[in-house]
Structure 1
Amino acid sequence: MLPFPHPFGRMLRRAVSGVAAGALLFPAIARAQYQQPAAPIAQILDQPATPAVLLSPDKAHLVVLSWPGLPPIRTVAGFEYRLAGRRFDPKTSGPSRGTGYTGIAFQAVAGGAARSLAQAMPSGTTIGDVMWSPDGRRLAFTVTSDSAITLWTADVATASATRVTNRPLNAVLGRPCAWITPQRLACTFIPDGRGAEPPAPGTPNGPIVQEALSGRAERAATYQDLLKSPHDEAVFEHYATSQLALVALDGAVTPLGTPAMRTGIDPSPDGRFLLVSTMARPLSYTVPLEYFPTRTEVWTLDGSVVKSVADRPLIERVPWGGGAALTGPRSIAWRSDADATLAWIEALDGGDPTVKAAKRDRVLLLPAPFTGNATTLVETEYRAAGITWDSPTRAIARELDARSRRTRTWLIDPSGAAAPRMLWDRSAEDRYGDPGDFLTTRDARGRLRLQTTPDGRQAFLSGAGASPEGDRPFLDRYDLATGRATRLFRSASPYFETITGVLDAAGTRLVTRRESKTEPANYYVRDVARKIAPRALTAFTDPAPQFAGVTSQRITYTRKDGVKLSATVYLPPGYDQTKDGPIPFVLWAYPLEFRSVDAASQVTGSPFRFTRPSGSSHLFLLTQGYGVMDDPTMPIVAMNGKEPNDSYVEQLTMSAQAAVDTIVAMGVADRDRIGVGGHSYGAFMTANLLAHTRLFKAGIARSGAYNRTLTPFGFQGEERSYWEAPDLYERMSPFTHANKIKDPILLIHGMADNNTGTFPIQSERMYQALKGNGATVRYVQLPGESHGYLARESVGHTLAEMTAWLDKYLKKSKTAM
């Protein structure tokens, strides 16, 4: 047979000949090397991150955890298994891609110098899973090497660390250890004699078959990293199986039970029991491990099972929509203020929010010795949303209606002697009216309970303090009988200060985290009664002094339908409006859905934050002469009894128009040199704005989803399926309108994106649609990267691509346009 016998073959032959002759008719795939961004950006990326800080349960110490810089691509793109919705490193039997900490130091709240660990960790290792002991005297943590994860503890008094045991831990299914008492932990280890992983079959044993025969609708999200074959099942079970054991601080390890896939270990507050969750077959190829068969039991510390609390089968009909819930016991946990009492939630409506029901959920209690039937503590009209425990006669219960976004908070009496009393009934969207969250503390026996004044009559509330002037975090003392709140502290200009812990019973001595526009966040001891200057506990420095000349302004403005909007406008170092005039600008945003105009109009954020970019932040563009309008609110509001997305494009366009008009009117932005960008749903927004407006001269869309028919059972806050609202799915999909995109767009996507809904194929198909319709487009794929970009090379290259794209299409002269 002659080559290319078909007429199309003749055309292809001519094309190949043309390529050979040097006339490239089709663009080749660019196999680019990683690029470095400009020097100021690269210098900041190479700095260590600001340390993380944890306050001890006794509030006597801070542990300061040092972070390294961004990991190299060889670490991020190293081999990992992606099975059952979990990614793990088979060499360590732990999570892959983790950066980990590199150093530990203790800082006494009473003052004095910070004390680093007396000895360094083994070379080439990282620290993770840091946990204070219940009494705050020790720290447990894991150390990960190239081949294993081991358990260590550190003594606060001596700042010395010890490896508890050489036996390797198994962290494939989550955090491997939990404190039982200050002297003992429960951990999951790699089973003795586990051996090599199951070998892959040389040839297929047969087809892979899935079926749905019930005739019932079974909506499913577009989950990623699912099992796909019997070999996947065998490999997953091999690595997920662990040996549960007790671990004493002297290194003694006492196995409990036989090896199995343990997904949860939760010691009772008195340390006498373990709540153990175990996953079993059959496994699934359509849902991740969260829905695999799971048995939850109460064990004694000798491994005896004293109570089977729940035996949940495989769930492939996943609850769908706001307010949907699993049937049977869920959210099983210990009552934190009691020695050993179980609490859990059960749906009274079959988990179906569309069913008319006077009560949706009930909360049940079962105390040790776990005999007899559980008793109902409370029934809720909405879905039960958690309980803050305090005493035998007092707890705080919350319920939430996801659809209406109403939330209620109740004062309840677990003894049943008094009827529940409502504290608040409010919109969960109303940030201005948020009374805050109740603070908790550990009592002398290590039990977690409501933090109150010595007489028990008043508790403490802490919250963001949202207001038209921006967030102003606060601390209130709240009278539980009268509902009267007394303000003890409120963050004041020019600082943004949040509550880390309350040190005394009156709520007058606090540990806070304070920052300003010019001062990096640090931790302080503040005496609000004496009104003296706060005392610094840490002295973290500016990680990016190159950014110090950036100025910012929190602004509010209104779109044409009356919805109030807000944003932060950043201007580059050295910018002089009189001298420089309007400059190129970038809007970087992420749409949110609301049920009311009032909620959508509320101001978010604070004008007093110490802002420094990290990772692949768009704020790095400020070092390259761009202005940035950061997080201009793009609310999508339910209007006239309809769903928010029914007018998505129209509302998005109004918000963008108002944002552009505002910065142009301020005199800082050149209307002919404004770009737009976003990540994930923000990328979706970007493509839609380029398709439906000509407001922007270029766009950057990172890790987005552009064809909503590829997420047919809902997306973001949209609960209707494609078959219920096909016109909506098509209207909201920028893929449908690819032929309308006339301004340049840069697509970036991690090739290992595992976020539900943002498969890399979303960007692949969008690129093909744009290219086929003659758009100006560039598509950058980042090897080994997930939904967020982690490796130093990937982050640097992303920022180099973003800068080059905007330089090309925003910085060129107006006449050239």
Structure 2
Amino acid sequence: MDVRKLLAGLALAVACLPGLAADAGGYQQPSPAIRELLDAPQLPRLLISPDKQSLAVLELRRFATIEELARPVLRLAGLRFDPGCACPQQITPVQRLKLRSLLNPDAPERQVELPAGGVFHSFGWSPDGQRFLLERRMEQASELWVGDTASGRIRPVAFLRLSTVLAQGDPVWLNARELIVTTVPDRRGPLPQAARVPGGPAVQESVIPGRASPERSHADLLRNAHDEALFDYHARSTLTLVDVVSGLSRDLGGPALFSSVANVGEGQYLLTERLIRPFSLSLPWDDFPRVIELRQRDGKVLRELGRLPLKQGVALDGVLPGPRAFFASPGNDAAVFWVEALDGGNPAARVAYRDRIMRLDAPYTGEPQEVQRMPHRFSRLIFLDDGQNALFSEIDRQRAWTRTYLLPLNGAQSRPLFDHSLRERYRHPGTPLTRVLPSNGRTVAIAAQGELLLSGPGAGPKGERPFLDRFSLKDLTTTRIFQSAESVYEQPLALLDGGRLVTQRESAIEPPNLFLRDGTGSSALTRLKDPTPQLRKIRRELITFKRADGVELSFWLYLPPDHKEGERRPALIWAYPLEFADNDTAGQIKGSGNRFSVWSGLSPLHLLMDGFVVLSDATMPIVGDPRTVNDSFVEQITMNARALIDKAEELGVVDIKRLAIGGHSYGAFMAVNLLAHTDLFKAGIARSGAYNRTLTPFGFQSERRNLWEAKDVYLKLSPFLYANQIKEALLLTHGEADNNSGTSPIQTERLYQALAGTGAPVRYVSLPYESHGYTARESVGHVQWEMSRWLTSYLGDPRAPGEAGK
């Protein structure tokens, strides 16, 4: 016998086994067609300056690398940060930056030269648009750079080391030349060292009789006293005033655990939040105790406004009693507003009013005044640029409903403006257009001549047609001033003098570009090219239908470039379940066939390039009373799936004997439940999901009840407990460092063990250094390879009609 032939035959046989084919170890590459798409440049990000004169064109890097994810990182109190640069672990690098005139596309562009070394990121305009900011991450520092819009030249602010461990938002502008940043303290002492031998155990205790403390499942929490010391050391920062014209900076007082800074009025005062001890071993940093203070421009404390305790013992969907959610007026009145609960923070309490808004005026020596009471829970406050009013919204938790009111800041009676379901799309009034005040950099809603400008997607039964309306605050009438044509997807961005409008227009074959509209027509302001022309060969169609009980469903049908008329191919259904309070909103259409196809790196649509049909964004509504909607979760996703399959068969493009179901996160949870409770699919793909609800006992997604209040529901919705019923091939992926609440990697580890132990074909891919979403080029390519190979193994070659998988 020829030993070489025997070994070659054995190798071929092993390669044909599901789960082992071409598995040589290490990161694998997807097909050349998918790799080409993944490596194609992204469309640039276009940012209009606040003065509407300039345009920043940012070319951002699409993926990180495994080497970057492997950088030293600390995971403390629910945060992940690089201790060397005192900045978040993950940033989006700016590869190239160009500036140009917004309204004169023929004017020469200014290329901003980014010096070599480090990583530039976090572009932002000054309030007047005359300058811009960038941050640069270095190995041992995070720098602030200031650029001149007219010349494009940039320079660093000397002797400044930013600290964005806690305060991760944009710098706080006081005016067009001064801003506040948080910086690493100059003298913060030696790094805390862990004891070689622990001094004792870490202890947690709940000792308040009758006071429940229902906490969601969090990752990266503090574990011991050394973690607490490290968190305090790295998160502590100093408020620093920077003059972007002179480049000088000076500290404002001593260091603290500043988590938030806001400009009050027109730069007169500062509103700060800082964390205080005791920290918690069971809660993340944003639930730690904190102090809210008003400060002078020099950092000196004027008045303490509130002292929030540790957020422990708070009901699910509840809030802390006492002052919370502080807001600073953007006008020269320099008033401060906040919200207080009138129900003790308990959503189950029966009260006439649940929250109230309070106001305190400068010089902040008097007592605060009540401005507004509301019957439901406060959700949002945005100031208008008229200096006299604001918009505030509340949420009716029982009905999943929201209301928005016009709030006079002088304490006069508010007026209801909008009232609709939280899931409403067809009758949604839109959201206010905003502008940045050049005097202090604050963002406010435009209220020209007593009218709001409301922009929305314009959803309807035929898809989305974005609009811009004028809404009269006097008589509550609406006048439509723009709506996208049916042949394109055009979004209003900014209203200029003389009624001119800047829009972003795209179509199925044209990338998004900026246009200027006036009374005579429109002209192009940018001319971006298609980075992935191969995608234009893909056919896309919105398919609508009904499930058995009459609820409207839909999906986007994608056919691969080489699909032939009358050909039935294996398909992947990719979905994500959503809860709705009524049938009407559950059936509303999302999306438009006129959108330019741009896929994320993890999109299952890449499988089209390997020949599969994809039914994407398949609606999976769960309809019912928000309090008990999950009681029929399994029955409703089954009804949805049956209707989807029936429609797919009717279309004549899908081989329903070769169907797979897939999803990410809650979509993965849905997919595995369908495999556990039905025989509708031949294979599944579940990424970064949760499968054992006893590990998330205090609620998940929209579920408000805890495990002991709805034990049967928690158990029924745990596909882990039905692992013996899953016979279909299941591909599981998970980031090994997933820090998303409820989706710890142990969820996938235990499901894999259960399926392997009961004999199901299953494969578990744990991605090094990745979190809930996967960001490294290597990881993204490997996941696409895994998905394509899995579907080919179990559904068959998509280009070989009728070929069954293994």
Note whether the superposition's TM-score is higher than 0.5: yes
Aligned equivalents of 2:591, 2:451: Cα separation in 1: 29
Question: Hey, what does 1:16 align to over in structure 2?
Answer: none
2:677 is the counterpart of 1:684: no
Aligned equivalents of 1:83, 1:704: Cα separation in 2: 23
Aligned equivalents of 1:444, 1:251: Cα separation in 2: 20
Q: Is the 8 A contact 1:176 1:188 kept in 2?
A: no
State which of 217, 224, 230 in structure 2 corresponds to 1:222: 217
2:506 is the counterpart of 1:520: no
Aligned-residue CA RMSD in angstroms? 2.1
Question: Hey, what does 1:784 align to over in structure 2?
Answer: 769
Question: Hey, what does 1:299 align to over in structure 2?
Answer: 295
Question: Hey, what does 2:11 align to over in structure 1?
Answer: none
SS in 2 for 1:647: helix
Is the alpha carbon distance of 1:148 and 1:48 closer, same or farther for their aligned partners in structure 2, counting shifts above 3 Å? farther
Question: Hey, what does 1:154 align to over in structure 2?
Answer: 147
Aligned equivalents of 2:611, 2:536: Cα separation in 1: 14
SS in 2 for 1:244: strand
State which of 25, 50, 68 in structure 2 corresponds to 1:75: 68
Is the alpha carbon distance of 1:412 and 1:276 closer, same or farther for their aligned partners in structure 2, counting shifts above 3 Å? closer
Alignment of 1:274-673 (within 5 A): 274-321=270-317, 324-390=318-384, 391=386, 393-416=388-411, 418-442=412-436, 445-446=439-440, 448-453=443-448, 456-504=449-497, 508-527=499-518, 529-530=519-520, 532=521, 534-578=522-566, 581-638=567-624, 643-673=628-658
Offset of residue 319 of structure 1 = 4.1
2:262 is the counterpart of 1:263: no
State the Cα deviation string for residues 655-676 of structure 1 (Å, max 9, x = none): 0111111111100100111111
- Comparing 200-209 and 791-800, the one that deviates more: 200-209
Aligned equivalents of 2:438, 2:194: Cα separation in 1: 54
Question: Hey, what does 1:694 align to over in structure 2?
Answer: 679
SS in 2 for 1:311: strand
Aligned equivalents of 1:442, 1:772: Cα separation in 2: 59
State the Cα deviation string for residues 718-762 of structure 1 (Å, max 9, x = none): 011111111111101110111111110000000000000000000
Offset of residue 654 of structure 1 = 0.6
Offset of residue 99 of structure 1 = 2.8
Q: Is the 8 A contact 1:51 1:64 kept in 2?
A: yes
Q: Is the 8 A contact 1:588 1:677 kept in 2?
A: yes
2:28 is the counterpart of 1:35: yes
Q: Is the 8 A contact 1:104 1:116 kept in 2?
A: no
State the Cα deviation string for residues 230-259 of structure 1 (Å, max 9, x = none): 111111111111121111122222111111
Runs of 5+ consecutive residues of structure 1 not aligned to the other structure? 1-26
Aligned equivalents of 2:331, 2:187: Cα separation in 1: 41
Offset of residue 544 of structure 1 = 2.0
Alignment of 1:87-106 (within 5 A): 87-106=80-99
Q: Is the 8 A contact 1:708 1:729 kept in 2?
A: yes
Aligned equivalents of 2:173, 2:111: Cα separation in 1: 23
Offset of residue 338 of structure 1 = 4.2
Q: What letter corresponds to residue 380 of structure 2 in structure 1? A: G
Offset of residue 211 of structure 1 = 0.7
Q: Is the 8 A contact 1:45 1:70 kept in 2?
A: no
SS in 2 for 1:591: strand
Q: What letter corresponds to residue 270 of structure 1 in structure 2? A: E
Q: What letter corresponds to residue 728 of structure 1 in structure 2? A: V
Q: What letter corresponds to residue 351 of structure 2 in structure 1? A: A
Offset of residue 279 of structure 1 = 1.0
State the Cα deviation string for residues 603-637 of structure 1 (Å, max 9, x = none): 11111111122211101001000111001100001
Q: What letter corresponds to residue 420 of structure 2 in structure 1? A: R
Aligned equivalents of 1:176, 1:520: Cα separation in 2: 29
User: TM-score, normalization: structure 1?
Assistant: 0.92
Q: Is the 8 A contact 2:291 2:308 kept in 1?
A: yes
Question: Hey, what does 2:721 align to over in structure 1?
Answer: 736
Q: What letter corresponds to residue 629 of structure 1 in structure 2? A: L
Aligned equivalents of 1:816, 1:180: Cα separation in 2: 64
SS in 1 for 2:222: coil
Aligned equivalents of 2:108, 2:372: Cα separation in 1: 48
Q: What letter corresponds to residue 157 of structure 1 in structure 2? A: A
State the Cα deviation string for residues 16-67 of structure 1 (Å, max 9, x = none): xxxxxxxxxxx99x88210000101112222332222222222222222211
Aligned equivalents of 2:136, 2:651: Cα separation in 1: 53
Q: What letter corresponds to residue 678 of structure 1 in structure 2? A: G
Runs of 5+ consecutive residues of structure 2 not aligned to the other structure? 1-18
- Comparing 248-257 and 112-121, the one that deviates more: 112-121
SS in 2 for 1:763: helix
Q: Is the 8 A contact 2:99 2:111 kept in 1?
A: no
Offset of residue 392 of structure 1 = 5.1
Q: Is the 8 A contact 1:227 1:284 kept in 2?
A: yes
Q: Is the 8 A contact 2:278 2:289 kept in 1?
A: yes
Q: Once the two structures are aligned, what percentage of the paired residues are identical?
A: 43
Q: What letter corresponds to residue 387 of structure 1 in structure 2? A: L
Q: What letter corresponds to residue 716 of structure 1 in structure 2? A: Q
2:93 is the counterpart of 1:107: no
Is the alpha carbon distance of 1:279 and 1:601 closer, same or farther for their aligned partners in structure 2, counting shifts above 3 Å? same
Aligned equivalents of 2:627, 2:157: Cα separation in 1: 59
Q: Is the 8 A contact 1:55 1:500 kept in 2?
A: no
Offset of residue 445 of structure 1 = 3.9
Is the alpha carbon distance of 1:772 and 1:210 closer, same or farther for their aligned partners in structure 2, counting shifts above 3 Å? same
Offset of residue 421 of structure 1 = 2.2
Is the alpha carbon distance of 1:180 and 1:319 closer, same or farther for their aligned partners in structure 2, counting shifts above 3 Å? farther
Aligned equivalents of 2:79, 2:183: Cα separation in 1: 18
Question: Hey, what does 1:234 align to over in structure 2?
Answer: 229
Q: What letter corresponds to residue 607 of structure 1 in structure 2? A: G
State which of 14, 38, 46 in structure 2 corresponds to 1:53: 46
Offset of residue 814 of structure 1 = 4.2
State the Cα deviation string for residues 694-718 of structure 1 (Å, max 9, x = none): 1111100000000000001110000
Is the alpha carbon distance of 1:700 and 1:555 closer, same or farther for their aligned partners in structure 2, counting shifts above 3 Å? same
Is the alpha carbon distance of 1:672 and 1:487 closer, same or farther for their aligned partners in structure 2, counting shifts above 3 Å? same
Q: What letter corresponds to residue 514 of structure 1 in structure 2? A: R
Q: Is the 8 A contact 1:392 1:413 kept in 2?
A: no
